[in-house]
Structure 1
Amino acid sequence: MKSFAYEKLDVWKRASRLTCNIYKLFRNCKDYGFKDQVTRAALSIPSNIAEGEERQSAKESARFLYYSKGSAGELVTQLYIAIEVDLVDKKSALALIDETKQLSSMLAALIRIRKGN
């Protein structure tokens, strides 16, 4: 079976793993509105990478990578809030914040490549 090009991207692999870890961290969260928002932000990161790469144009790819990067910023914010209001384990959340920030840097580099800068 042929794989999609985005499946070879480390940023997509790591973003997918991050999303799984977010779902696990919030598995027992009873604040369903918050849980929905944070999981949607996390899920948006690898999903937009995949969608942009499937568009098969550098301009479209960059546009969707920007969406992914925006979702990464949203996720970091939500994780800090989750720590502050005691929804999640601080150590686990801080590790996911660090991973999200690294992904954001990777996305910025990929955006530069797609835009030819």
Structure 2
Amino acid sequence: MFDFEKLTVYQKSKAIRTIINRALFNKKNVDRSIADQIRRSLLGIILNIAEGTGKSSNADKRNFFTIARGSTYETAAIADLLFEDKVISAEEHKIIYNNLEEISKMLFGLISSLR
């Protein structure tokens, strides 16, 4: 098992990816470019956590976790747009937003611990 797989933030990031993919699956009113962008931002969270964990210096780890946190914010902004466009429901938006907020806080904790 790789170290990143042991991180709760990695597991939560994978879970929110599944939640968002299910929320968007087969919806006809979703703009494909926005759907593609949220999928890329979700991958950005997950992959930067994994890559950062593999770095040897704290500065490098911090950089990748900071990028992952930025992708978390990007994902939250896209979720807001999807809600405004009535692609996702208020309940779906709340679940997504709360999970992303938790992921952001966890990443901030990781970043702070590496200073």
TM-score range, shorter chain: over 0.9
Aligned residues: 113
Comparing 27-36 with 9-18, greater Cα deviation is found at: 27-36
Output the CA distance in 2 between the equivalents of 1:55 and 1:27. Answer: 35
Distance (whole Å) between structure 2 residues aligned to residue 41 and residue 10 of structure 1: 19
Q: Distance in 1 between matches of 2:21 and 2:45?
A: 14
Q: Look up the SS of the partner of 2:114 in the other structure.
A: helix
- List runs of 5+ in structure 1 lacking aligned partners: none
Where does residue 26 of structure 2 map in the other structure? Answer: 28
The alignment partner of 1:106 has SS state of helix
Counterpart position of 2:37: 37
Q: What are the within-5 Å matches in structure 2 for residues 1-117 of structure 1?
A: 3-30=1-28, 31-115=31-115
CA RMSD in angstroms comes to: 1.1
SS in 2 for 1:77: helix
> Can you give the 5+ residue segments of structure 2 that lack an aligned partner in the other structure?
none
How far apart, in 1, do the equivalents of 2:55 and 2:43 lie? 19
Query: In structure 1, what residue type is equivalent to 2:33?
Result: G
Residues 32-64 of structure 1: CA deviation (Å, up to 9, x unaligned): 111001111112111100011112221111000
Identity %: 27
TM-score normalized with structure 2 length: 0.92
For structure 1, which segment, 87-96 or 65-74, has the greater mean C-alpha deviation from structure 2 after superposition? Answer: 87-96
Q: TM-score, normalised by structure 1?
A: 0.91
Note the alpha carbon deviations across 1:13-50, whole angstroms, 9 max, x for none: 11111111111111123421110011111121111000
